[in-house]
């Protein structure tokens, strides 16, 4: 069975909108620069769509888009564009989010969740769209790789297996459990129909897969994925 990389997406600042890429290098941490930055408050909580020990719910963070340029990462919101590291960006976020916040790079606490790279198959997305009459825009899942597949959820059978893509190799580790973020408008994708409730009823709240990098390399849109 043949699978190909249909789309690559990187999120330079965790929880903000991301950027579409034609090609990207992977290091041991994942896509280079992916979620390297995060909006952090004085208590060390990361801005997110939920609250937990690590996260603080700050839905306003989804109104911003982050992009990587020759001079570094920039953030664009309704009121302007700022370079990451500009104190004016931190002032903007503190005003909008209602607390002292700053864009900080990763340190002792990883910004990644349970895997270095996330991926989903097109057949799985299509199944969700047909089954629940919704627009299965992968941007609502915030995945790194969209893989062209013909069988719904075939990627779930890859747990514990290696996949070669481009010059990199990944090891698929587990399903991704979704949260309320999937039902938020974000990254240019609207969310008129809720996705989390039917996932909870029929899919154990899980959609997409996490993988870790076992061999760094470069992947590009159109690359074949070989599962071993």
Q: What's the pLDDT tens digit per position in 118-175?
A: 999 999 999 999 999 999 999 999 999 999 999 999 999 999 999 999 999 999 999 9
The predicted pLDDT at position 213 comes to 97
Average pLDDT score, the chain: 95
Class of domain 3-10+21-30+113-227: mainly beta
Of how many residues is the chain composed?
228
List, for the chain, all residue ranges whose pLDDT scores fall below the cut of 70.
Answer: none
Whole-structure pTM value: 0.95
Residue ranges of the chain that CATH labels 2.40.33.20: 3-10+21-30+113-227
């Amino acid at each position: 069975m043949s699978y190909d990389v249909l789309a690559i997406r990187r999120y330079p600042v965790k929880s903000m909108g991301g950027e579409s890429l034609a090609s990207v290098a992977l290091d041991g941490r994942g896509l280079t620069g992916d979620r390297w930055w995060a909006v952090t408050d004085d208590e060390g909580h990361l801005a997110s769509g939920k609250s937990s020990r690590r996260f603080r719910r700050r839905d306003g963070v989804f109104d911003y888009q982050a992009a990587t340029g020759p001079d570094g990462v920039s953030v664009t919101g309704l009121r302007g564009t700022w370079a990451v590291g500009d104190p004016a960006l931190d002032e903007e976020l503190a005003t909008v989010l209602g607390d002292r916040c700053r864009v900080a790079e990763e340190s002792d606490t990883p910004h990644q969740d349970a895997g270095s790279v996330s991926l989903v198959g097109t057949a799985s997305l299509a199944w969700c769209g047909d089954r629940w009459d919704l627009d299965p825009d992968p941007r609502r899942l915030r995945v790194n790789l969209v893989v062209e597949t013909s069988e719904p959820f075939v990627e779930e059978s890859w747990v514990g297996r290696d996949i070669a893509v481009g010059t990199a190799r990944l090891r698929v580790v587990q399903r991704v459990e979704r949260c309320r973020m999937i039902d938020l408008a974000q990254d240019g994708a609207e969310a008129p129909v809720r996705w989390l409730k039917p996932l909870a009823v029929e899919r154990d709240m899980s959609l997409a897969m996490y993988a870790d990098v076992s061999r760094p390399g470069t992947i590009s849109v159109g690359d074949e994925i070989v599962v071993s």
